[in-house]
Amino acid sequence: MKTLFFATTNENKINEVKNILDIPNLNLIVPQNFNIKETGKTFKENSLIKAKALFEILNKNQNVFGEDSGLCIEALNLEPGIYSKRYDIYKLCKKLNTNEKNQLILDLMKNEKNRNAYFICNISYISKNSQILNFEGILKGKIALSLNDNKNYGFGYDSIFLTKNNKKLSDLKLEEKNKISHRGIAFLKFKKFLLESLFNSQT
């Protein structure tokens, strides 16, 4: 049994990652009450900040990884970007619920013809011997003209993001989403690495 620690407390991300990293004999552990301030200027910097913080907490003797992801919109100068989770505070200095944040994006995009956008995910992995590796995934698409009122799946900005097949991410079941999403792409790369290294290792 191999143990891997995930530096997050986001239940939605945990569910998606567990679905992708379905490796036999992998014990994926999520720390309780993990709360690290994201002070990086890029997704890579923020994922590494989280990974390093957990690596320190675990006395530098466990394999850990952090993840940071978000939505980048061309017409909004690639915002919300690294502020995707807290775009309401960044833009309005007040807390909004998920639908309100999605509506904020739609309002800002109201008169924009260029609706190109992409989701990005970066994973930072730190091994017991302090090796650091990064894995990235990108999903290109467009910002929809309206919210998905019949949202069944997904979270965050999924209900306003159109894939190349003109489907909103929130219309896709978890297994479908993980096949094409930014997080799915990044974690499949990570999974391949784990199978080739961690599970072939004798340590």
What residues are labeled active site?
A: 68
Longest dimension (CA), the chain: 58
Q: What span, in angstroms and rounded, lies between the C-alpha atoms of 9 and 22?
A: 19
CA atoms within 13 A on the CB side of 23: 22
Q: What span, in angstroms and rounded, lies between the C-alpha atoms of 162 and 164?
A: 7
Helix (H, G, I), strand (E, B) or coil at 203: coil
Phi and psi (nearest 5°) for 61? -130, 25
Tell me how crowded residue 161 is: count the other CB atoms within 10 A of its CB: 26
Q: Which residues in 71-103 are b (16+ Cβ under 10 Å) and which e? A: bbbebbeebbbbebbebbeebeeeebeeeebbe
Task: Tell me the Ramachandran region of residue 15: left when phi exceeds 0, alpha when psi lies from -120 to 50, beta otherwise.
Answer: alpha
C-alpha radius of gyration, the chain, whole number: 17
